[in-house]
A = this chain, B = another copy of it.
Amino acid sequence: MRNESVTLSSLDALLYPRSVAVLGASQNPNKLGYIQVKALLDGGFAGEIYPINPKAEDIAGLTCYPSLADVPGPIDLAIFCVSAEHVQSSLHDCANKNVKGAIIFASGYSETGEEGARQQAMMARIAKKNGIRLIGPNCVGLVNTLNGLVGTFSPAVMSYPLKDERSVGYVSQSGAFGVLTYMAAAQHGLSFNYFITVGNEVDTEFADFVEYMIHDPKTKVISGYLEGAKDPERLRKLAEEALDCNKPIVVMKTGRSSAGSRAAASHTGSLAGSDQLYDAFFKQTGIVRANDYEEIISFSKLFLSGKLPTGRNTVIITSSGGRGINEADRCEANGLQIIPLSEKTKVRIKESVPPFASTANPIDLTAAASVTNPELFIAPMKALLEDPEVDNIIFTEFPMNWGSDHPLLQEFIQLCKESDKFVLVATFPLQGMSIPKGAAEMEKNGIPVITGDLNPIGSLAKLVAYSEKYSKKKLTSHQEEQRRSGGSVESKQILQNLLKPGKTLSEFEAGQVLAQYGIPTARKALAVTVEEAIIQANEIGYPVVLKIDSNQILHKTEANGIRLNIQSGEEVRKAYADILQSAKMYKPDAVINGVTVHEMLPKGTEVIVGVSNDPVFGPVIMFGLGGIFVETFKDISFRLAPLTRQDALEMIEELKARAILKGVRGQAPADQEAIIDVLLHVSDLMMDAEGLIEELDINPIIVYENGLKAADALIVSSSEVLEKTEVGG
């Protein structure tokens, strides 16, 4: 366990140093060592700046020191503008000078192969031993715009003016994408407070800065670029904390395609899990997944408006029919509903707009509004703001000439302020006509104005989803805590006793485990004599099924070890003998536990629940419908254990074939609550198994209108106790 207060204060050395030394400082304006010194000066960094170079007296007007040891005062942060071969000795110098933090740009480490990885490990050891927090190597550094600490050589970063509002932090596993995002954000009027590229994450990693920003009161949104989480469990807990305090984490995660995954794996040396699992991870944790950096920018701007959308019902106001249609398409593609307006609202709108304007949704004010009657833009607002069915109002454009003190703009702002509805101005991204004059005034008052190239509608849909997640979290957090508690002490004991390294449980044993965890299974009993079998069959009730039971015979059908639809004691007698004989022929040396007598289940809807162990994420629970739906259509949903009830519900709702569970072709609907229970019980079971189960498969489960029963189950123990994969640092 990391000591949190130490973590925070030590990251302060990186983000809030009182003094900075630049190792490898240079007088040559084309060298990194000059650019870095200049960047600190231009950024207005208020602390001490010490250029280090044995051959220069002063650099960019600052006194230069031959070595760290020669610097008169203490040094909090050292920026390494030196090549890889000088990093190690410089790090020793830092240790001697009691430097607390270091930024290392140099590349040539784990990203290049074994020798690089060895060098990197050595760097990590030196830093750890001496209590130096590092970012990098192979990074482009960091910027703190709040104190002018420009700890990067990237010339592009500082070329945009900073805005007053600076409350979005950004942390990136890619230097290049980081710089692009910083620049794009700045171009669109969004200034980050912290901008951090973590490179090879030898010491500090992505999650460290997420944690820092959760506890940082100056940060309202945490954004970033992720290739692979080093420790998903930690990130999960952080995401939970962030959601608790309504501080969204919005990340761009690449590697969706198979080619993308390949490249991601070979890129910064991250161990990237499959993209589908990341999708599950983000959904479960409430981390917002941005498709591109545009969505990071617009999502952040929307969130900073200070309102959370109350739902998906959306109205569009436009002066161009074509644009209205286009935005309506976009809304529906993103899951926002373009609702038909109520008669009452329509009548009220009609009173305030000319007869040729359309009061359908999108509300088309026609070109008259933009050319001659701009006041029409706000005419429908009163009716819409008072309509309880409306959650969001989107303008496809806005009067260009309304300055901040225009009375109509002020009226508009006042109307919006008094309402909890989300109002968004989504303009077209054309030079010279994209941003209305009053945009700054609107944004200051909680009405985001976003150009269409940033996909504001996609981001609004994501903010709606975030808002839903946040509200649910608030409602259910107590319940959820309880859910995570796992099974009873007793059932955990029974489970762990049954699991032996490398052992595959017999169907009977697997059934016992499921029963312990409250998962209904077909009634069954193990018989070791034919008389026992007959007694058990009588007890269970005919028809019954007989199956061979042996830990050495896993494929019972292949062994001809199953008899279905047995109707009487006489038939039990015959089947019992047949099965034993078949088993002997199939595998003469198999240890036969006996024959199991099963209740024969009536027909119902077949579903499958499975679990596999992912090296990054641990137990992954899978749900799908039986037969072709899993095999042919791959219509499967995934979530990571432990599950919440909401997770389980979403697993069902995510299936394309979910309609079948509701009942089709006259069939009764399947018992959804019973399925949710099974998923939650399996989640408990896997948490209790603590890595001892490699694979679990309940296939099929027969679901009825009331209740369900597992017909067959397979549990494979892990061949060795799995350890959580840890990469790097």
Q: Which residues of A contact B (CB under 8 A)?
A: 107-108, 111-112, 156, 159, 173-177, 180, 183-184, 187, 225, 227, 254-260, 262-264, 266-268, 292, 319-326, 328-329, 331-333, 338, 355-356, 358, 360-362, 364, 366-367, 428-433, 453, 627-628, 631-633, 656-657, 659-660, 664-665
Contact = CB atoms under 8 A, between A and B. Distances in A.
Q: Across chains A and B, which 8 residue pairs bring their CB atoms closest together, nearest first? A: A174-B322, A176-B320, A259-B338, A257-B332, A267-B321, A177-B322, A254-B325, A259-B328
Given A628-B660, A664-B628, A430 B176 contact: no
Copies in the complex: 2
Report which residue of A177, A333, A355 has the largest number of chain B beta carbons within 10 angstroms of its beta carbon.
Answer: A177
A112 to B, nearest CB: 4
A615 B183 CA distance: 51
Given A367-B175, A628-B660, A665-B631, A257 B322 contact: no
Nearest to A627: B665
A77 B454 CA distance: 42
16 contacts: A108-B356, A112-B356, A175-B320, A175-B367, A177-B323, A187-B430, A257-B338, A263-B325, A263-B364, A266-B364, A267-B321, A267-B325, A268-B321, A628-B665, A632-B659, A633-B656
Contacts of A333: 256-257
A191 to B, nearest CB: 16
Contact of A632 (B159, B322, B338, B660): B660
A362 B266 CA distance: 10
Contacts of A183: 430, 433
B322 A107 contact: no
A321 to B, nearest CB: 4
Contacts of A292: 326
B430 A180 contact: yes
Nearest to A327: B260
Nearest to A267: B321
Given A111-B356, A267-B364, A331-B259, A254 B322 contact: yes
A373 to B, nearest CB: 13
A332 B258 contact: yes
Contact of A227 (B111, B325, B430): B325
Given A156-B433, A180-B323, A225-B322, 6 more contacts: A107-B366, A175-B367, A177-B322, A184-B430, A187-B430, A267-B364
Nearest to A634: B659
Contacts of A264: 321, 325
Nearest to A356: B112
A177 to B, nearest CB: 4
Nearest to A326: B254
B367 A328 contact: no
Contacts of A225: 322
A324 B262 CA distance: 11
Nearest to A320: B176
A83 to B, nearest CB: 12
Report which residue of A187, A260, A660 has the largest number of chain B beta carbons within 10 angstroms of its beta carbon.
Answer: A260
Contacts of A338: 257-260
A260 B325 contact: yes
Nearest to A324: B263
A360 B262 contact: yes
Given A112-B356, A633-B657, A325 B255 contact: yes
A159 B183 CA distance: 28
Nearest to A428: B180
A178 to B, nearest CB: 8
Report which residue of A173, A267, A325 has the largest number of chain B beta carbons within 10 angstroms of its beta carbon.
Answer: A325
A322 B225 CA distance: 9
Contacts of A628: 660, 664-665
Nearest to A664: B632
B325 A664 contact: no
A620 to B, nearest CB: 22
Contact of A260 (B159, B259, B332): B332
Contacts of A362: 259, 263
A433 B177 CA distance: 14
A361 to B, nearest CB: 6
Report which residue of A108, A329, A338, A660 has the largest number of chain B beta carbons within 10 angstroms of its beta carbon.
Answer: A329
